[in-house]
Structure 1
Amino acid sequence: MHKNALKIRVYEHIDVVDPKIFGHFIEHLGRCIYPGIWVGKDSNIPNENGLRRDVIQAFKSIKAPIIRWPGGCFADAYHWEDGVGPVELRPRRANIWWGGEESNEFGTDEFIKLCRVVGAEPYICVNVGSGSPSEALAWLEYCNYVGNTKYARLRAENGHPEPYNVIYWGVGNENWGCGGSFDPVYYAWEYRRFATFLKQADPRIKLIVCGHISRDWNYRVMEALRDFIHLVDYLSIHYYFFRNQQRYGDDVKFTDEQYLNLLFDVQHLEYQIKQAIAVVDFFSEGRKDIGIAVDEWGVWHPQATNENGLYQQNTLRDAILAASVLNLFIKYSRKVKIANLAQAVNVLQSICLTRGEKTILTPTYHVFKMYSPHMGNVAVKVDVESPVIKEPTETDYP
């Protein structure tokens, strides 16, 4: 018989568990926004001002602390003014990354409404790849400015006289790839340009640098920002357990070995987190405590393709993986301050899957439900004694 033991070191505190590590991510991709979140006010599907009532309830039930939007790859092709004002006057645009057309029915005001209804902090990712600092400044003014400026008046004309006070702003998404194929140093220069104006306009905001699982990218970006650390609040990394059919199997069909492989590879994510922490600590040189934002993470099974809108099934294996990842974030809660599961509805490792009027809550949803009472608590060290299936070696890491 195998013996397992946990030793909980109640007096050895790690840090307070930031509620924002239990965050979520929504993007204009597949059926995530339409009809996963937005069905319109005239829909037969029960809704609150166009927002699906069942999905709202799911977010509320797990106390979703922060929601990231509009992307994702979509973000660096998105122009926010397309998505405000009377819905019937909003332009339709080609969704160049995920296919089809974007109606812009769900824009800034609808996103903020979703966050307010469920009690989540909004996290907006601005367009760096095809946008400009002036466009980002206008968006910030629309969201946060109190006064009689052009965009504060526009917000009021659209029915929202009070500022939204959006604190979390990502400066681009995956700008090493779909966000513009930038060189890391060039991205750092662009970040400095955007951040200089945004921080000056509203010093309260927190800005997230676009990172990578590549240590070289993170090193070179942070090196170029070394003298501008005051403009940096978080470094983001994205991590997907990505479409490795041979190693992980399919979404619902896998061997025992493939089942365990997926869980074992959480150690790869730990390696990336440790690398990111080392880079920000090295270049901040104690001048500022920069956090890590794992603002996209999850399982990406082979069944999730562009053709089906990255839709996949969700099993207990995925839920156990989610718990393992959340435990990892808690373990590194001194530095990991934001994390966003990809994605909340109908895309990748969702908490909800919808079909018509019906919604099911996935096993991953129930993991977030179980963890929700522990938001804001103090993490303590735990030792585990159990049989080891395989010790990791250097070759197990990228």
Structure 2
Amino acid sequence: MSDATVIVNADIPGPRISRHVYGHFAEHLGACIYGGFWVGEDSPVPNVGGIRADVVEALRELSIPNLRWPGGCFADEYHWQDGIGPREERPRMVNTHWGNVEENNHFGTHEFLALCEQLGTEPYVVGNVGSGTVREMSEWVEYLTRSGSSPMVDLRRENGRDEPWRVPFWGLGNEPWGGGGNMRPEVYADLARQYATFCKNHGDNRLYRIAAGASEDDYAWTEALMRAVADMKAAQFPSLPFEALSVHYYTIGGTWTDKGPATGFDEASYWRTIRRAQAVEPLLRRHIAVMDRYDPDREIGLVVDEWGTWWDVEPGTNPGFLFQQNTMRDALVASLHFDVFHRLAERVVMANIAQTVNVLQAMLLTDPADGTLVRTPTFHVFEMNKVHHDATSVPVHLRAPGAVRELTDGAVPTLSASASVAGGACHVSLTNTDLERSQDVTIELRGSRVGAVAGRLLAPSSVGAFNAGAHPADVAPTAVDELPVTASTVRITLPPHSFAVVRAELPDLP
């Protein structure tokens, strides 16, 4: 047991934490779409228009702000007109990136937009730069967002949709440095400017165009994109080529060829994972420093549209389907990332966990044999943390000299925190990554006396605990009954490998 103080300056407002940093990702990969979201209208699994009803019901608990589709790597081999019109007439295709399986294109544009409507979320569509054309993406924008009369509007009406959809977020390809084309940064930067030019605003639908950015610490890629921004801002008729650029960052416990198991991992793998999760902050700060040199007014957003854990697939499953179990370790990786996103909210405007159902660090796992659905530990972090959606980030300072784990290769901090204010209350998220020691935490709230308090805790018996059909609630949040309070403090004990959210009403805040 060690003591720590978390000082929260609740009366010093920082940037707004966009709800979009709690975004999600649904790629045509494994059982994310087919078997996860989509079962078809003739399925015995309860569905609305072919979309699995219990998946939608569960995800609505998270107030998902946006959903990225159709990829990922799949986006750069997907031709959208193959996925419209009567389903029985749609051409089949081979998903060469993920399992080399054949797909029937039954889940396409209309189905995705219906899913977004059922979820109450905003679509984030990724266009095909790798094997598509400028015209193809431009016509997709027109098909989805234009009203009145035009060739693409008429085609949409033929397919049963009269009014346009609101589709704000558009990705200009995916990972062009790799599977999206193996391009050099300067080549892609020119293509991003070209594609963005022909992605038009139609009516009142304003596009937020996201250039496909760096893999991890490729700061040169970010610099090439930011030079493209600076060039166009300095042109005779200044403009922004795109509104944001992305970065992809995955957390693994080993190497890319031997990532380690999702369950049954050892302590050394656990601490490598925590180090890797913590390393996202200095990495993002360096990308931001590059962006600041070219864009000091911070007009361009940073989008972390692929992040999460990546383990070896579960034994006996298709290695191209990336199905992995999800433990409390994964939940801690998520909570650490959100603290970083909250701190960097002025520049980090969106993020997308990879992925939503049945793939990588999923929110939900479905069993094709018995139809069961379970909420993963990561699901609960998203649900507990939704109190930060669109709230105001406030400064947090830690006094926690004992919250350190000494390892042979150096020390690892074991306490993380972030906070926001909204509606006269402050929410503080707290993570204890230590495997053996509890952490007594005093939250010192400055700027107001403390009113009513409440807390929720995610603290299973083991960091390797997970949920499955036979035990769906081994990892689930509980209310914290005892929270000692003074006029300016709240105390909470964090068990080993735990996550908590504390709410404190602050009646003196303006």
Q: Tell me the TM-score range normalised by the shorter chain.
A: over 0.9
Match of 1:269 in 2: 280
> Do residues 205 (structure 1) and 207 (structure 2) align?
yes
Residue 129 of structure 1: how far off its partner (Å): 0.6
Checking the alignment, whether the CA contact within 8 Å between 2:254 and 2:272 is kept in structure 1 is no
Q: Which has the higher strand share?
A: 2
> Do residues 310 (structure 1) and 327 (structure 2) align?
no
Checking the alignment, whether the CA contact within 8 Å between 1:125 and 1:171 is kept in structure 2 is yes
Residue 321 of structure 1: how far off its partner (Å): 1.1
Structure 2: which amino acid aligns with 1:73?
C
Residue 245 of structure 1: how far off its partner (Å): 6.0
Alignment partner for residue 228 of structure 2, among 224, 227, 231? 224
Checking the alignment, whether the CA contact within 8 Å between 1:245 and 1:302 is kept in structure 2 is no
Q: Distance in 1 between matches of 2:226 and 2:376?
A: 38
Match of 1:77 in 2: 77
SS of structure 1 residue aligned to 2:13: strand
TM-score, normalised to structure 2's length?
Answer: 0.74
Match of 1:163 in 2: 164
> Do residues 360 (structure 1) and 374 (structure 2) align?
yes
Residue 4 of structure 1: how far off its partner (Å): 1.7
SS of structure 2 residue aligned to 1:12: coil
Match of 2:442 in 1: none
Checking the alignment, whether the CA contact within 8 Å between 2:254 and 2:269 is kept in structure 1 is no
Match of 2:338 in 1: 326
Q: Distance in 2 between matches of 1:140 and 1:223?
A: 26
Alignment partner for residue 377 of structure 1, among 391, 397, 401? 391
CA deviation vs aligned residue, 1:58-111 (integer Å, no higher than 9, x gap): 211110110000000000010000001100010001111111012111111111
Q: Distance in 2 between matches of 1:358 and 1:4?
A: 41
Match of 1:186 in 2: 187
Checking the alignment, whether the CA contact within 8 Å between 1:281 and 1:290 is kept in structure 2 is no
CA deviation vs aligned residue, 1:220-279 (integer Å, no higher than 9, x gap): 232234212512211100111136169974211122332232122223211221122112
Alignment of 1:91-102 (within 5 A): 91-98=91-98, 99-102=100-103
Structure 1: which amino acid aligns with 2:405?
I
Alignment of 1:1-398 (within 5 A): 1-98=1-98, 99-199=100-200, 204-212=206-214, 213=216, 214-229=218-233, 230-242=240-252, 244=254, 249-286=260-297, 289-303=299-313, 307=319, 309-356=321-368, 357-386=371-400, 387=402, 388-389=404-405
With a CA cutoff of 8 Å and minimum separation of 6, indicate the structure with the bigger relative contact order.
Answer: 1
SS of structure 2 residue aligned to 1:123: strand
Aligned length: 395
Checking the alignment, whether the CA contact within 8 Å between 1:79 and 1:127 is kept in structure 2 is yes
Structure 2: which amino acid aligns with 1:103?
N
Residue 373 of structure 1: how far off its partner (Å): 2.5
Checking the alignment, whether the CA contact within 8 Å between 1:248 and 1:262 is kept in structure 2 is no
- The unaligned stretches of length 5 or more in structure 1 are none
Q: Which has the higher helix share?
A: 1
Structure 1: which amino acid aligns with 2:143?
Y
Residue 157 of structure 1: how far off its partner (Å): 1.8
Q: Over aligned residues, Cα RMSD in angstroms? A: 2.3
Residue 378 of structure 1: how far off its partner (Å): 0.9
Checking the alignment, whether the CA contact within 8 Å between 1:248 and 1:254 is kept in structure 2 is no
Q: Distance in 2 between matches of 1:186 and 1:197?
A: 17
Q: Distance in 2 between matches of 1:270 and 1:321?
A: 12
- The unaligned stretches of length 5 or more in structure 2 are 234-239, 413-510
Q: 1:371 to 1:219 in 2, by over 3 A?
A: same
Q: Distance in 1 between matches of 2:195 and 2:201?
A: 10
Stretch deviating more after TM superposition (252-261 or 325-334): 252-261
Stretch deviating more after TM superposition (299-308 or 115-124): 299-308
Q: Distance in 2 between matches of 1:91 and 1:75?
A: 17
Q: Distance in 1 between matches of 2:308 and 2:319?
A: 19
Checking the alignment, whether the CA contact within 8 Å between 1:208 and 1:233 is kept in structure 2 is yes
Structure 1: which amino acid aligns with 2:376?
T
Q: 1:322 to 1:188 in 2, by over 3 A?
A: same
Q: Distance in 1 between matches of 2:165 and 2:354?
A: 24
Same amino acid, percent of matched pairs: 41
Q: Distance in 1 between matches of 2:180 and 2:13?
A: 39
Structure 1: which amino acid aligns with 2:224?
R
Q: Distance in 2 between matches of 1:390 and 1:17?
A: 33
Checking the alignment, whether the CA contact within 8 Å between 1:9 and 1:382 is kept in structure 2 is yes
Residue 298 of structure 1: how far off its partner (Å): 0.5
Residue 306 of structure 1: how far off its partner (Å): 5.9
Checking the alignment, whether the CA contact within 8 Å between 1:144 and 1:163 is kept in structure 2 is yes
